[in-house]
């Protein structure tokens, strides 16, 4: 049984990943902001068997204290993130998005790296299709996800000698509460489906399958990879 930590694991893609590891028999801790969302997750039967805790990845002291409380860790999955459409052209919002999505990923990677090195463990970060494309309404989100892509490659090279593999998934259009408004807008959803060769919205389970592969023995010679999980969107 492996010990898994999933940030942003109380909803959306992160929740799907945490549940997939749980279903494989792993010991899973999912962390998220202290919020009604976390409270709801604690009452949701879908999270049965997953340890749920509050953690703000933008709080360095909190991240360090949380990592210090762990005794063993095999896999870290960084899914914590935020997006603020339109408002990201305001500098305070721009910096906040970068602090959570990019710096937050780095904080957890650094804090957990000693434990991961002991176990020759693995990290999977969450990039995005906007690691490759510009997003005119979300300059901070796009910049942060481009940064996550390059951070993943840099850490993969730096930590390979210690046996820590670092990869990332790059989800495309995934059906989560974050994209619910787009799913509900028939015209906008159709534009997305027309651009996606597999002609459907992805699911958190689709992303989880890719994560499970990247941390498996079948991928033990793979590091520094950014794996699109997008139904072919990036190939168009």
Query: Which among 183, 154, 148, 126 is positioned nearest to 7, based on CA atoms?
Result: 126
**Residue with tokens 């804090």, as numbered in its chain:** 111
Structural domains in the chain plus CATH codes: 3-174+203-235 (3.40.50.720)
- Residue 132 and residue 234: Cα distance in Å, rounded? 8
Helix, strand, or coil (residue 86): coil
- Residue 87 and residue 205: Cα distance in Å, rounded? 30
* The predicted structure's pLDDT at residue 130: 94
Active site residues: 141
pLDDT < 70 positions in the chain: none
Q: Is 161 exposed, middle or buried (0-12, 13-18, 19+ CB in 10 A)?
A: exposed
Supply the Cα-derived Rg of the chain in whole angstroms: 17
Q: How many CB atoms lie within 10 A of CB 65?
A: 12
Residues in Cβ contact with 97 at an 8 Å cutoff, skipping those fewer than 6 apart: 82, 83, 84, 88, 140, 141, 144
The pair phi, psi for residue 231, each rounded to 5°, is 65, 20
* The predicted structure's pLDDT at residue 86: 87
Q: What is the mean pLDDT of the chain?
A: 96
Would you give the DSSP letter of residue 236?
-
- Residue 19 and residue 13: Cα distance in Å, rounded? 10
* The predicted structure's pLDDT at residue 202: 95
* The predicted structure's pLDDT at residue 182: 87
* The predicted structure's pLDDT at residue 171: 97
Q: Is 84 exposed, middle or buried (0-12, 13-18, 19+ CB in 10 A)?
A: middle
* The predicted structure's pLDDT at residue 52: 97
* The predicted structure's pLDDT at residue 236: 79
């Amino acid at each position: 049984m492996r010990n898994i930590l999933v940030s942003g694991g109380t909803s959306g893609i992160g929740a799907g990943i945490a549940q997939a590891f749980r279903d494989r028999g792993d010991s899973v801790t999912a962390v998220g902001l202290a919020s009604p969302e976390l409270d709801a997750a604690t009452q949701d039967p879908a999270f049965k068997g997953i340890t749920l805790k509050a953690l703000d990845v933008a709080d360095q002291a909190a991240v360090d204290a949380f990592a210090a409380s762990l005794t063993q860790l095999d896999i870290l999955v960084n899914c914590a993130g935020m997006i603020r459409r339109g408002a990201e052209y305001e500098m305070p919002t721009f910096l906040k998005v970068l602090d959570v999505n990019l710096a937050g990923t780095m904080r957890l990677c650094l804090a957990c790296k000693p434990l991961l090195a002991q176990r020759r463990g693995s990290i999977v970060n969450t990039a995005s299709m906007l690691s490759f494309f510009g997003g005119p309404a979300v300059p901070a989100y796009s910049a942060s996800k481009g940064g996550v892509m390059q951070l993943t490659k840099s850490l993969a090279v730096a930590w390979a000698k210690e046996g820590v593999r670092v990869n990332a998934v790059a989800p495309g259009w995934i059906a989560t509460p974050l994209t619910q408004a787009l799913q509900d807008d028939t015209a906008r959803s159709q534009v997305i489906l027309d651009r996606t060769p597999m002609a459907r919205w992805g699911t958190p389970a689709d992303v989880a399958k890719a994560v499970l592969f990247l941390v498996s023995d079948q991928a033990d010679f793979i590091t520094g990879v950014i794996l699109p999980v997008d139904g072919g969107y990036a190939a168009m």
